[in-house]
Structure 1
Amino acid sequence: MSTTPGTTETFSGKRRQESPEADSLRMGCGWSRGTTGKPWILIETTQGDSHPGSIHLGDLAEFVEKGVLAADGAPAHYACTDICDGIAQGTAGMDYSLPSREVMTMACEMHANAGHADGAVFLSGCDKSLPAHLIAMLRINRPAIVVPGGVMDSGPEGFTLEGVGTMYAKKRRGELNDTDYEFLRSNACPSSGSCAFFGTAATMQMLSEAMGLAQPSTALIPAHLNALKDSARSAGTRVLELISEDLRPRDIFTQETLENALIVHAATGGSTNALIHLAAMAQEAGLDFSYEKVNEINRRVPFILNLKPSGRFNCNMIWYAGGIHRILWELRGFLNLNTKSVTGLTLGENLEILDRTGHFQQMPGYLANYGATVKDLIRPVSEPLAPTGSIRVLFGNLAPEGAVVKVSAWLKDQNDTAEKKIYAARVFDTQQVALEAIFAGKINPGDAIIIRYEGPAASGMPEQFYVTEAIASNPILATSTALITDGRFSGATRGPALGHVCPEAARGGPIAVVEEGDEIEIDLNACSLNIIGVKATNHPNSVGENTGTKASSVDDIAQILQMRLDEWVAPRPKYNQGLLGIYTRCALPVHEGGGLSTL
């Protein structure tokens, strides 16, 4: 039965009345006169040769089209491909990564609004494309579904892309020969789909389903399975029903949904980048997002997911364990089960159906192929990997507005958060210089590597992945140093890495005036990050010049930091033109999502 409303009742119908050329141009694309009166469905993908996570999406979009046609809709294909964080990693190209999210979001907005779409199906699966599509759904706010693009296979012995950074660091240290290095590098990405470690792409696929914006059991499907095609076809059919039901993304993404997402993120050790994207979604939808809420949730939600980089397994196995809803089933005592989803049912109702139909019992049969069980991957909340969540947000005189750390990827024993750790600052204004210092043996136990001018307003907020891998792959540095930056990290990051320091250096945050040798205290239990000792030179209470005396009282340190800030001069902008010129001038702070200010 057709779900087609009357011609002037739809968004496209009203626009067609205003634009008599619209039908002519659609028919020039192969539509019939009868097709133009049906609901217009935008099929938006990031199809392109940009990376394995997008290269297959054009083929997948054909299955969405089949679903749309079966439901008597009029499909139209649009695309804005993404860049690959892995290809850009460690180069100036990485400065484009977070800004690219804004470009794709605006492209979707443009395609939907100028193309008169009544509804949309978004196909994406990687670090910035899926967040862009989720933000675009909320901005457009017409019936829509996300189809996550699936996950690639693992390489030899479970090797995945994030291991290349580790192998590179070992090669630089003379611990790995060229032949083995090239073999692993050549086989790290053996198929299409997003990377098989639990990084940003996998985290955002998971959260899109957990938030009800993707259909149940459609996130992190191994990309080679027919189930991925079925999910695409089903989305094409379902979006026509959403139009009839007038169920819109902002009806689904509510304050309770956002809290559910933060709970799932805490329990799974998801990428810290997800906090940026969730903040941006909240900004778009007019919801409240706060780091205080993140900490409150992480104090009460256990950590239960055993996936790399925080755990043992690759994320291409999670669908075999019952998928994201199997995680939600385990967490159901913590979640708001009355939130809506694109199925038209609540989260609780979706879970009940999957349980009643045997989904959770049948799917783990796949795990037998790997000699694994559901409990190996998803621990019961009564037997968690750790009693508290995977994330801490630290505050203090070095990060008045917060700094984010994934403790699940740092501490072997996540209960080991009570010990205060004190470090001596080693200050770098770029990650490249810091990386060379590490490889040159110039970083010692007890050092805190400060990398600044890498925030949104400075350089677009690139990831610092190769620095974190150089530290984490070194047994001595991994247990005796820390990295603190106003930049961000790859979802693959492990080890002692604190990022998202805010205010950032380029906007006059305290990190801009940290000096060599300043004493920095990290207290994970108290969620604090403070400078506790500074050179007292030029302070009224100092004894002579360059005495090396340390000021350690809170008041003295506050005075010295303020003196430094009063004398601080902002560096010349790194970018003045083009996309990065616009982004660095207009970017919101990271705790507000790092989007573009419209003020």
Structure 2
Amino acid sequence: MDNTTVLNPEFADLYIDEAYNPFRVCIQGLANEPITVRALLHRADDLLLDEAGFAGLGDYSLDAIVQRLAANRPRVAIIQGSPDHPAHMFDHEHTLRAAARIWQNGGVPFTFGIPVICDGTAQSNIGQSYSLASRNHTAMAVNINFEGHSYHAAYVLSGCDKTPTGILSGLASADRARRQPERGTAPVWAIFVPAHVLKGGTIPKRTRQKLQAIQDAAAAAGDRQLSDDIEENCHYILQCSSDEAFLGLLARAEEKGLLSQPEVEQILNELAAATCDDKGGICAFNGTGNSSRTLVAALGFVPAESELLTDEATSDIVRHNVDQLFRMFNKPEYSVCNLLEKNYANAIRIHGATGSSSNLMLHMPCVMRHAGFDVSLFDYARVRDSHAVPDIFAHSLTEGRDTFVLAQQAAAGLHHGMTSLFKALTDLGVPMDLDAPTVAGLTWGQRVAAIAVAVSPKLSQERSVIRITPIRAISGTDVMRGNFFSSCTLKVAGMSTESYERFNGRVFLVRYYENEIDCNHEMRATDFIERLAAMPALTPALLAALRRFNGAPEDQSVIDMITAGTLAFAFVIAGQGPKAFGMPELFAPSQNLRHHGVVEKTSTMITDGRYSGVTKGACVGHMVPEAYEGGGIGALIDGDLLWMQLSERRIDLLDSAAFLLGEVRVCDAAPLAERAELIAQRRARIEHRQLQVAACSMMDNVTDAEFGVVPLAVHRRATLAWPAKS
């Protein structure tokens, strides 16, 4: 035992119950680490000295720190992100507040930071080839530091994009390794505190006037579509995502001669300067950042009070969070792997009900495999298919229901965040596991029982993001199958009901691109529709067959067919998979599709890469096998026909010769042998393109998307059945 003073009497006698203490067995850590703790506490003391309610730190001399380490007091790592990311701008202050409370509770605080890549900053450049790799690197870095310095628990300043699931994966891997009897160590405990929500920007008045002038000029020049597309994008809150759409729209306007390149750049600069609030945070759209916020909360790792902050966490909130973490110590039921095991089915259903990012279809199995569970994409599908989950999340960037508004509604006491989602789904008969534990020390059932209603009657359903009456029956992300691939994903939550019904059963004509640069270039062209109409594959016989199948008049022109949607396209971008090019998000081409009023209503995009969580429309991703691995997507060519049966969750390559004769016949498989030479040429170009990515960040030794694109060592260790067999 140590004789240091513990300022919070609740934890005065708290020691971690385990057989092995590396700070007692090996003197070197006991000699090296205390100075880092004292420096951290000294900075915390300076920050909080004059803050009301601060009770001081007492004795934090090197002798006191050594005594606590030798006695096996809780060693807690505060994991923060790099301040070059908007979600982590103020992690330093949060870290010091947490460190102070850990010491007051009798623990020993440490901190380390990790690099955090901003997916927005990395869009449309080589940075996206590092984005998914960063998740695996984060898991490894967190695991190495956590295990190397023998921490008991983590207080995680949870940020954006891949970071939360990367950190959770690293902690889960440590927890699983510590279960080996030879280690003699306690499990791992963790609490996640998501960064506050970043308030969306507003287009400056002078900039809006410039955009209106472009709209007027486009209409006068006969391009009403461009005018309408700019108008539609102006209705969105100003975010990096809407800025990207303006980039494509203004490129079309410049090509048409409506403004010069310097004028385009000036407008884009004005938009950029007005986008992000000075407080930072996670962007207000329901992309991967907020989807990750939702995920860690659904998995039970987030204290309710910290789930939806609109500003930096106060000292009161931080103290509450740290106290909750300390109450879990020596209780294996609250360990990282146990929370994951018990809450994973809940997280799948919450993911579907909230229409969260399809990126999580990679990250969820990744986390579970790091925890040792043999989980794949098909476990997600199994849970999803076992009971329909309705859409109860009316998130909108144009109607005043973005994530910042969701957080404001929570702060006003109009709903209870994740607990309200659990209650709403339970009331609708969705089989949520209410016995699953959470870091609040309560089961979901206890949390749900503590609230009378999911959403306060003071908040009208029209204004509420969380709905107690389902918006519609379809939701979430579907796992699709087909005759030229093993699996892919389609975020049906990103499609309107009308689009879903229109696309179901439709035959699409393939327009093939070897990379997103080529796709972006063509989609941003003012003569994009004319280019599509001039495709050599559009023979008179094929056009006649498409007219018959889609019910178009025999004399309908190709342009009119495209405009009316009787000629629909599948824009295929291959060679983007994890092993080929790091599996980048194809946000820019998806935005160009989304904000092109003609093809957006009729066409789909298909890739072996990923999409941003904010992507809307019929965007199919994560296709396995990827083109680089010999997948059928890499054998497609302009003019191939794809039959999309959404209700059957299938996309199939059709026999073109049979289709010309009026028969819808599915091919046996992709024409890999017939197009072997073409496939070889494409692979050679992929390998040349790979040289743009630094060798140290190539993802060679990873699984495919069905298993979360995890390192092969992690994949091999994931042998535990989930759910556990009774």
Is the Cα contact below 8 Å between 1:203 and 1:270 reproduced in 2? yes
Specify the alignment match of 1:266 in structure 2. Answer: 352
Q: Provide closer, same or farther for how the CA distance between residues 376 and 7 of structure 1 changes in structure 2, counting only shifts above 3 A.
A: closer
What is the SS of the residue equivalent to 2:590? helix
Q: 1:533 aligns with which of 638, 655, 660?
A: 655
Task: Say whether residues 1:93 and 2:127 are aligned partners.
Answer: yes
Q: Which amino acid aligns with 1:558?
A: A
Q: Which residue of 2 aligns with 1:46?
A: 81
Instruction: Call closer, same or farther: CA 1:233–1:81 in 2, change over 3 Å.
Output: farther
Deviation at 1:218, TM superposition (A): 2.1
Q: Distance in 1 between matches of 2:346 and 2:612?
A: 23
SS of the aligned residue for 1:525 comes to: helix
Q: Which residue of 2 aligns with 1:543?
A: none
Aligned: 1:558 with 2:652: no
Write out aligned runs for 1:312-351 (5 A).
313-319=401-407, 320-321=409-410, 322=415, 323-332=417-426, 333-334=429-430, 335-351=432-448
Match of 2:484 among 398, 415, 419: 398
State the alpha-carbon separation in 2 of the partners of residues 39 and 27 from structure 1.
14
C-alpha spacing 1:309/1:426, structure 2 compared with 1 (3 Å): farther
Q: Which runs of 5+ in 1 are unaligned?
A: 537-547
The residue type equivalent to 2:65 in the other structure is: T
Q: 1:422 to 1:360 in 2, by over 3 A?
A: closer
Is the radius of gyration larger for structure 1 or structure 2?
Answer: 2
Secondary structure of the 1:260 match is helix
Q: Which of 467, 492, 504 is the aligned partner of 2:614?
A: 492
- Equivalence for 1:539: none
Which residue in 1 is equivalent to 2:158? 124
Seen in structure 2, the aligned counterparts of structure 1 residues 102 and 231 have a Cα distance that, compared at 3 Å, is farther
Corresponding residue number in structure 1 for 2:719: none
Aligned to 2:239: 160
- Whichever residue aligns with residue 33 of structure 1, its letter is D
2:538 is aligned to none
The reply to whether residue 144 of structure 1 matches residue 190 of structure 2 is: yes
Residue 252, structure 1, aligned to residue 339, structure 2: yes
Question: What amino acid maps onto 1:596 in structure 2?
Answer: P
SS of structure 1 residue aligned to 2:304: coil
What is the CA–CA distance in structure 1 between the aligned matches of 2:678 and 2:657, rounded to whole Å?
16
Q: Assess if the C-alpha contact under 8 Å between 1:121 and 1:147 holds in 2.
A: yes
- Is 1:282 the counterpart of 2:368? The answer is yes
Letter in 2 for 1:32: L
Q: Does 1:16 align with 2:23?
A: yes
Q: Could you say if the C-alpha distance between residues 562 and 47 of structure 1 is closer, same or farther in structure 2, counting changes exceeding 3 Å? A: same
Quick one: which amino acid aligns to residue 201 of structure 2? G
Inter-partner Cα distance in structure 1 for 2:16 and 2:517: 58
**1:566 and 1:461 mapped to 2: Cα distance?**
24
Distance 1:72 1:351 in 2: 32
Q: State the aligned residue count.
A: 571
Q: Deviations over 1:22-44 (max 9, x none)?
A: 12212333252222323211111
**CA distances 1:222-263 after superposition (whole Å, capped 9, x unpaired):** 13564xx54433222222222233431111111x51111110
1:172-199: CA deviation from partner (whole Å, max 9, x where unpaired)? 2228974654433222211310111110
Letter of the 2:604 counterpart: A
Which SS does the other structure have where 1:222 is aligned?
Answer: coil
Instruction: Give the equivalent residue in structure 1 for 2:325.
Output: 239
**1:515–1:314 CA distance, 2 compared to 1 (3 A):** same
Q: Once the two structures are superposed, what CA deviation does each residue of 1:265-290 show, in whole Å capped at 9, x if it has no partner?
A: 11111000011110101212214333
8 A contact 2:520–2:589 mirrored in 1: yes
Measured at CA, do residues 434 and 360 of structure 1 come closer, stay the same or move farther in structure 2, by a change above 3 Å? Answer: closer
Structure 2 partner of 1:294? 381
1:230 to 1:462, Cα distance in 2 relative to 1, 3 A: farther
Tell me, yes or no, if structure 1 residue 469 matches structure 2 residue 515.
Answer: no
Matched to 1:189, the amino acid is: C
* Structure 2, gaps ≥5 residues long: 1-8, 39-60, 176-187, 204-236, 534-561, 563-567, 717-726
**Cα distance between partner residues in 1 of 2:646 and 2:399:** 20
Instruction: Assess if the C-alpha contact under 8 Å between 2:420 and 2:454 holds in 1.
Output: no
Residue 567 and residue 192 in structure 1: after superposition, are their counterparts in 2 closer, same or farther (change >3 A)?
closer
2:704 to 578, 589, 594: 589
Alignment check: 8 A CA contact 1:197 1:309 kept: yes
Find 1:109's aligned residue among 140, 143, 163. Answer: 143
The reply on whether 1:424 has 2:509 as its aligned counterpart is yes
- The aligned amino acid for 1:351 is V
2:102 corresponds to which residue? Answer: 68
Q: CA RMSD in A?
A: 3.0
| AA aligned opposite 2:669 | A
Deviates more, 1:237-246 or 1:448-457: 237-246
Alignment CA distance shift 1:289-1:210 (3 Å): same
Structure 1 residues 514 and 551: alpha-carbon distance in aligned structure 2, compared to 1, 3 A threshold? farther
CA deviations over 1:373-393 (Å, ceiling 9, x no partner)? 68631111xx31111223222
- Name which of structure 1's ranges 35-44 and 292-301 shifts more when overlaid on structure 2: 292-301
- CA apart distance, 1:9: 4.4
Correspondence list, 1:442-453, <5 A: 442-443=531-532, 445=562, 446-453=568-575
The alpha carbon displacement at 1:65 in A equals 1.5
Whole-angstrom distance in 1 between the partners of 2:392 and 2:474: 9
Q: How far is the alpha carbon of 1:6 from its aligned partner?
A: 8.3
Distance in 1 (CA, whole Å) between partners of 2:268 and 2:96 is 38
Alignment identity in percent? 22
Could you tell me the TM-score, scaled by structure 1's length?
A: 0.88
Residue type matched to 1:127 in 2? D
> 2:157 is paired with a residue of what secondary structure?
strand
**Cα distance, 1:85 vs. partner?**
0.8
Given that 1:160 and 1:189 are in contact with CA atoms closer than 8 Å, whether structure 2 keeps it comes out as yes
Q: Per the alignment, do residues 182 and 418 of structure 1 end up closer, same or farther by CA in structure 2, a change over 3 Å counting?
A: closer
Kindly indicate whether the alpha-carbon contact (under 8 Å) linking 1:386 and 1:415 is maintained by their aligned counterparts in 2: no
Q: Is this contact kept in 2: 1:151–1:221, CA < 8 A?
A: yes
2:281 pairs, out of 181, 190, 193, with: 193
Partner of 1:202: 290
AA of the residue aligned to 1:169: G
Matched with 2:234 is none
Q: Shift of the alpha carbon at 1:565?
A: 5.3
Query: TM (normalized to structure 2)?
Result: 0.73
- The verdict on how the C-alpha distance between 1:420 and 1:309 changes in structure 2, with shifts beyond 3 A counting, is farther
Letter in structure 1 aligned against 2:709: G
